[in-house]
């Protein structure tokens, strides 16, 4: 199944968080600090401008207005482009 966001939205795959520390201690779900980082899977459209991110970019985002969905057992988020706060390079 292919999903194409409409308007100024971005479909991302959240980056999985580490479940244990380097020393081997497991971190309970309630104690984890949520990294708001993901990989751009698909972008919507913006008229008269270049979209700020492209497929494959690793981004940081705010998580206040995202829509979660699951397709073929994989979790994805759809965000407004204004919720993308940075692109990670290198």
pLDDT digits (tens, 9 = 90+) for 4-27: 888 889 999 988 765 666 677 776
**Better pLDDT: 86 or 18:** 86
Domains in the chain: boundaries: 9-16+31-88
Quote the mean pLDDT of the chain: 82
Q: Is 51 helix (H, G, I), strand (E, B) or coil?
A: coil
- CB of 59 closer than 8 Å to CB of 37: yes
Q: Give me the mean pLDDT over the 29-37 stretch.
A: 64
How far is 35 from 60, CA to CA, in rounded Å? 8
CATH code for the structural domain at 9-16+31-88: 2.30.33.40
pLDDT digits (tens, 9 = 90+) for 47-62: 777 778 899 999 999 8
pLDDT of residue 47: 78
What is the pTM for the complete model shown? 0.74
């Amino acid at each position: 199944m292919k999903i194409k966001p409409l308007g100024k939205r971005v479909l991302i795959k959240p980056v999985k968080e580490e479940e244990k520390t380097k020393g081997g201690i497991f971190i309970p779900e309630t104690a984890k600090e949520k990294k708001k980082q993901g990989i751009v899977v698909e972008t919507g459209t913006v008229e008269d401008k270049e979209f700020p991110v492209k497929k494959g970019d690793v981004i940081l985002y705010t998580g206040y207005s995202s829509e979660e969905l699951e397709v073929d057992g994989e979790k994805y988020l759809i965000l407004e482009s204004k919720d993308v706060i940075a692109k990670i390079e290198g």
